[in-house]
Amino acid sequence: FPTILGLLKDPLLHYVRYHGKYILATKDTPLLMNKWKYYFVNLWQCYFSVWFQSQKVNINQLAKDNLEFLGYLSSLRLNPLVVRSQMLENSFLIDNVRIKLDSKIPISSIIGSLAKDKFCNVLGHPISKVTWTDSSDSDILNRFVRICRN
């Protein structure tokens, strides 16, 4: 029964742009990931007239114990976290087990990498650029289309 509920839950998508690459990340089953891939390919083909093969859209499964991001390998620790809910009127308890993600990343190397790419200074304070915040949705989509065509 929990497997069926896992298939019906609403997926949470994370969107990242880095060095001209677009990354969508989610925690879903392979079936739902293939559905998302199909939906995105159809979206670009039908609405933006961008034709590319669905084989060019890669689905990579991340390992459960480490994660590579921005060229750095971080170790992850999954800690079970019990959230207790109590219904006052009906007087029963529900224990929901959630997995809390604790990451161990060497912060100095990440700050150095972000400072090199002009996202922050060497102390880790963000550098604000107006051009980063002024991008409209259509600009973002047009960039994505240009990258897909190249």
Token pair 């002024």 is at which residue?
Answer: 134
Structure tokens at 105: 């990343």
* Residue 140 in domain: no
CA angle (15 as vertex; 13, 18 as ends), nearest 5: 155
Q: Provide the percentage of residues in the chain whose pLDDT is more than 70.
A: 24
Question: Among candidates 50, 80, 78, which has minimal Cα distance to 65?
Answer: 78
pTM beyond cutoff 0.85: no
Please give the residue that has the higher pLDDT: either 67 or 30: 30
Angle in degrees, CA 55, 56, 58, rounded to 5: 85
Number of domains in the chain: 1
Residue 89 has pLDDT above 60, yes or no: yes
Could you read off the pLDDT of 49-72 as tens digits, one per residue? 777 666 666 666 655 555 555 444
Residue 43 has pLDDT above 70, yes or no: yes
Flag whether 50 is in a domain: yes
Give dist(CA 88, CA 74) in Å, integer: 42
User: Amino acid identity of 67?
Assistant: L
Asked if the structure places residue 17 within a domain, the reply is yes
Residue type, 34: N
3-class DSSP assignment, residue 145? helix
What does the pLDDT average to over 131-148?
Answer: 65
Q: Which residues pair with 78 in a beta bridge?
A: 101
- Is the confidence at residue 1, as pLDDT, over 50? no
- Tell me if 37 is assigned to some domain: yes
Q: What residues make up the domain containing 32?
A: 1-61
Nearest-angstrom CA–CA distance, 16 and 23 = 5
Which pair of structure tokens corresponds to residue 123?
């102390």
